[in-house]
Amino acid sequence: MPGSFATDTTMTLLTRLRRALSGTPRTAPTQPRPRSGAVSARRRPPALDPALIARCQQRLHELVLQLQAAGQWPASRPVPGLEFGQRGKAAGTAHLGRWLIRLNPVLLAAHPQRFLGEVIPHELAHLLVFARHGRTRPHGPEWRQLMQQQFGLPPHVTHDLDVSAVSGPQFAYRCACRDHLLSLRRHNRVVRHQARYLCRLCGQPLAATSDAAGATPNHQHGITETTHHTK
């Protein structure tokens, strides 16, 4: 109703005036509490030595200059961006559309020479192949040829760095012939009856053991997954 609206407005103005004269502060609105399990802030990568960051940037520039001198660098492309937020076991990734290289800070700090000599050229080759040929097989003949002819490096698809610092918890399993270690993801799939794993040597299913530290060899690549279709 028009009359009540005017009265409410007048009361609101009078209340604000009294508070202003008395110096009573307004009550701050209560912030909602985060839900259980919610992440309050993004997980930040570990801090790197600024000198190591500078070395990586310098190495990237040197490689681009090398390609320019050989007439292999597209004139329309700038030096790629360089970030240090790669997670997991990957040493680095090339983001084609964004034209940047992302490096794993944990593995970089542990293996700086390998990154300078191999990882940065590896990812730069991906970007250059994309600039020349568009989207192709990630480690196809164009990439392999570039690694060998321009960088003088063997075209290794994967790295052999020690990833224990970035590996999650592992769980001990045993078959009929040896011990195995399963990742948390695979262990959870077993617990939820979503999959089971067979040893590729003896063909027997893996069973969890109580001694998590007893299975030192990691044979995750020596098993076969069989999926259970659950409703």
List the catalytic residues: 123
- CA dist 225 and 119 (Å) reads 31
Rounded distance between C-alpha atoms, residue 179 and residue 222, angstroms: 11
Q: Which is it for the CA torsion 153, 62, 121, 48, positive or negative?
A: positive
Could you give the CA distance from residue 53 to residue 51 in angstroms, rounded to a whole number?
A: 5
**Nearest of 63, 49, 50 to residue 122 by alpha carbon:** 63
* Location of structure tokens 């007893």: 214
Q: How far is CA 190 from CA 109, 123, 184, 187, 210, in A?
A: 34, 35, 10, 5, 15
Looking up tokens 């003896």, which residue turns up? 202
| Ordered DSSP codes for 89-139 | T-SEEEETTTTEEEE-HHHHHH-HHHIIIIIHHHHHHHHHHHHHHSS--TT
Residues 96, 130 contacting (CB under 8 angstroms):
yes
Distance CA 197, CA 195 (A): 7
Site of tokens 């983001």? 95
